[in-house]
Amino acid sequence: RPRVLSGIQPTADSFHLGNYLGAVRQWVALQETHETFYCVVDLHAITVEHDPKLLRKRTRVSAAQLLALGIDPERAALFAQSHVPEHAQLGWVMQCLTGFGEASRMTQFKDKSSKQAQDRITLGLFGYPSLQAADILCYQATHVPVGEDQRQHLELTRDLAQRFNSRFGKTFVLPEPYILKDAAKIYDLQDPGSKMSKSSSSPAGIVDLLDDPKVSAKKIRSAVTDNEREIVYDPERKAGVSNLLVVLSAFTGRTPLQLQDDYVGKGYGDLKKDVAEALVEFVTPVQARVRSYLDDTAELDKVLARGAERAREVASRTLARAYDRLGFLAQR
């Protein structure tokens, strides 16, 4: 079966709607058809300043959310990135193949580094995409379900895999992005020109899955739209309304264009009310499941340990092959 790898950072107390609709929802669906590896990327989380206690907590909360959202640990290998040391080991190799100019052109690095004082920007943040390439290549993943914002990093991963293969012999499979057209990017409710993001959205612009559902419903009702009245799916011209249609589409299974027809003659208030209701209906049982996974952290840690074991079986074989091709002596 084709392989899938994806990861999510434990850098917030909750996933937001963009993380779920852009990425995790695809992770769940792909378990049916692919061999899946999903990790909480704690190594990536320390590329910016962090608090160890919070990281520990957020790693478990992330795993609990993934389980609550439908990741089935019997089918997918669900693990913490730091439990599989091959990520960091292959990450070093990938850094040694990445050009300085190439890394400098990554827009995520430019965005994130522009928000920090020069001496706070770490080499880890600069090298983030090379580690991400290793995350993917360790598993010879063919598909990587991520949001649109990650497309450039995936291109780099393909370039690095190709570079390694042509210098040292065919070792890595070139992964394809798996980006769903209609949910690829969820926008900030207050600033629908920018993506919903944990680091840059204002509290009113971001919907956290673990927020009080009443608060989230209120944020949806206060979402920025425009001065017109028609509910039309036109992301260029009507970003706010289109964003709401995309969210409702994900929860109802109707396409944004079908929804546009459903809402002929209705107003923005009706649309917002329906989006808020669909959201509350979705998050309420998810939150209950998250709480129950967090009530038994020993069991949660066991799930992660089993996932890491399965992941290492694959990642260690890939690393051994890559090390051999690079000319490292085999350990006797």
Say if residue 71 carries a ligand binding annotation.
no
Say if residue 190 carries a ligand binding annotation.
no
Cβ(19)–Cβ(8) below 8 Å: yes
Residue closer to ligand AQP (CB basis): 186 or 315: 186
Which residue of the set 195, 219, 238, 272 is catalytic?
195
Residue closer to ligand AQP (CB basis): 132 or 287: 132
Say if residue 186 carries a ligand binding annotation.
yes
Residue closer to ligand AQP (CB basis): 20 or 172: 20
* Catalytic residue check, 198: yes
Judged by CB under 6 A, the residue of 3, 9, 79, 312 near ligand AQP is: 9
- Nearest CA to 13 out of 186, 212, 192, 298 is that of 212
200 touches ligand AQP (CB under 6 A) = yes
Residue closer to ligand AQP (CB basis): 57 or 198: 198
186 touches ligand AQP (CB under 6 A) = yes
Cα 188–chain centre separation: 16
> Within 132-151, which residues bind ligand AQP (CB under 6 A)?
146-147, 149-150
Name the token pair of 305. 């340990």
Judged by CB under 6 A, the residue of 94, 134, 196, 231 near ligand AQP is: 196
**Which ranges of 98-231 does DSSP label H, i.e. alpha helix?**
100-104, 107-114, 123-137, 151-168, 213-221
Residue closer to ligand AQP (CB basis): 84 or 250: 250
Instruction: Reduce the DSSP state of residue 195 to 3 states and report it.
Output: strand
Burial 12-40 (b: 16+ CB within 10 A, else e): bebbbbbbbbbbbbbbbebbeebbbbbbb
Q: Which residue has the tokens 């895999």?
A: 161
Which residue of the set 57, 170, 198, 266 is catalytic?
198
Shortest Cβ 23–ligand AQP spacing (Å): 3
Cα 286–chain centre separation: 18
Classify residue 253 as left (phi > 0), alpha (psi -120 to 50) or beta: left
199 touches ligand AQP (CB under 6 A) = yes
Q: Which helix (H) or strand (E) holds 325?
A: helix 297-326
Which range in 14-22, 96-104, 152-160, 246-254 contacts ligand AQP by CB under 6 A?
Answer: 14-22
Known catalytic residues are: 112, 195, 198
Binding site for ligand AQP (CB under 6 A): 8-9, 11, 16, 18-19, 22-23, 146-147, 149-150, 185-186, 195-200
